Amino acid sequence: MEQYRVYGNPIKQSKSPFIHRLFAQQTKQAIEYQKELVAFNAFESTVRSFIEQGGKGANVTVPFKEQAFDICDQLTDRAKLSEAVNTLSFSDGKIFGDNTDGIGLVNDLYRCGVKVSGKNILLLGAGGAAKGVIPSLLAEQPAQLVIANRTQEKALAIAHKYNIETVKAMTFEELVNYQADIIINATSSGLSGHPLSIPPTIFTKTCVCYDMVYGKDLPIFLQQAQTHGVDKLIDGLGMLVFQAAAAFEQWRGVRPDPDAVMTMLRQELHQ
Ligand code: NAP
């Protein structure tokens, strides 16, 4: 059986083996997919020894996406722009890197009937997840993409890098005068258990709020949006499944059915 891995630290919480095993069942692919905890200083050696053992591909999660980017021989354009890689493929002794987080997000928005084209997007956060989704968001041609981050320099650096009129950085305070069609939370602030320190005026009745976080309960950012009257709330479970589907298709050449897996994963979360 061909071997795949997901590498991270921590990794215990990863749903990727559950998702990929279901994709393999659906598409009748004989693969083995395991999660592996990697020591902070052992990412590259772990990947190289997996390649030597005949490994075919791997997903990469926090905190190794930038290191994964560094060890690739070839990268997709979106991975180059993101400077982070979540999907590795191994062939002829070479490492190919992609970032499927953005396509995962965009496909999930489509699933929920939300189009990015022509819309004003507010992206909260400037870490790996935010950087990973920007190329795919821009490929949809939004009217504007505003990036706001607690540490303003990071948002400014991203806006400078793209250097196009569509992409702009704002401070959390400046958001008091801004209202977007779609607000995407790509911060990890929910882990602190506190709401984000953003002006409540960003929330409108008609905006869509997306949180990359998912869990049994509504993520804190979506609770915050709901309190301020937002109706359309989407958590990051779909993004997770759709980014995995894009990786699986790249590795195996067949498209799995993400919707069926999402339903099962949602049920699993509630057990
Ligand atoms: P990261 O690189 O560590 O970046 C964290 C970001 O959150 C930074 O922008 C940071 O701002 C901000 N932040 C953290 N605590 C905050 C607070 N209390 N208030 C305001 N901002 C705060 O993490 P990441 O890889 O980008 O991941 C971000 C989140 O997305 C995580 O929760 C992750 O689980 C989720 N994610 C989900 C998926 C999915 O498929 N659903 C995929 C990828 C990531 P500073 O720069 O100021 O520190």
> What b-and-e string marks burial along 98-126, b requiring 16 or more CB atoms within 10 Å of the CB?
bbbbbbbbbbbbebeebebeebbbbbbbb
pLDDT single digits (tens) 159-212:
999 989 999 999 999 999 999 999 999 999 887 888 999 999 999 999 999 999
Q: What is the 3-state secondary structure (H, E, C) of 64-106?
A: CHHHHHHHCCEECHHHHHHCCCCEEEEECCEEEEECCHHHHHH
Give DSSP secondary structure letters for 220-263. HHHHHHHHTT--EEE-THHHHHHHHHHHHHHHHSS---HHHHHH
Q: What separation in angstroms does the CA of 234 have from each of 50, 62, 63, 158, 213?
A: 36, 22, 25, 25, 10
pLDDT value at residue 64: 96
| Mean pLDDT within 240-269 | 97
Measured from the Cβ of residue 218, the count of other Cβ atoms closer than 10 Å reads 16
pLDDT value at residue 200: 97
pLDDT value at residue 179: 94
Decide whether any atom of ligand 1 lies within 6 Å of the 127 Cβ.
yes
Which ligand 1 atom is nearest residue 187's CA?
A: 7
Decide whether any atom of ligand 1 lies within 6 Å of the 212 Cβ.
yes
pLDDT value at residue 66: 94
The percent of residues in the chain predicted with pLDDT above 70, rounded, is 100
Whole-number mean pLDDT of the chain? Answer: 96
Cα 186 to ligand 1 centre (Å): 5
Q: Whose CA is nearest to atom 39 of ligand 1?
A: 240
pLDDT value at residue 77: 97
Decide whether any atom of ligand 1 lies within 6 Å of the 239 Cβ.
yes
Decide whether any atom of ligand 1 lies within 6 Å of the 187 Cβ.
yes
pLDDT value at residue 237: 97
Inform me whether the pLDDT recorded for 17 exceeds 80.
Answer: yes
Q: Whose CA is nearest to atom 38 of ligand 1?
A: 212
Which ligand 1 atom is nearest residue 150's CA?
A: 47
pLDDT single digits (tens) 90-134:
999 999 999 999 999 999 999 999 999 999 999 999 999 999 999
Q: Whose CA is nearest to atom 27 of ligand 1?
A: 129
Cα 244 to ligand 1 centre (Å): 19
pLDDT value at residue 191: 77
The pTM of this model reads 0.96
Which ligand 1 atom is nearest residue 125's CA?
A: 9
Q: Which active-site residues does the annotation give?
A: 65
Q: 169: which strand partners?
A: 147
Decide whether any atom of ligand 1 lies within 6 Å of the 129 Cβ.
yes
Q: Whose CA is nearest to atom 7 of ligand 1?
A: 187
pLDDT value at residue 137: 98
| Mean pLDDT within 201-225 | 96
pLDDT value at residue 190: 83
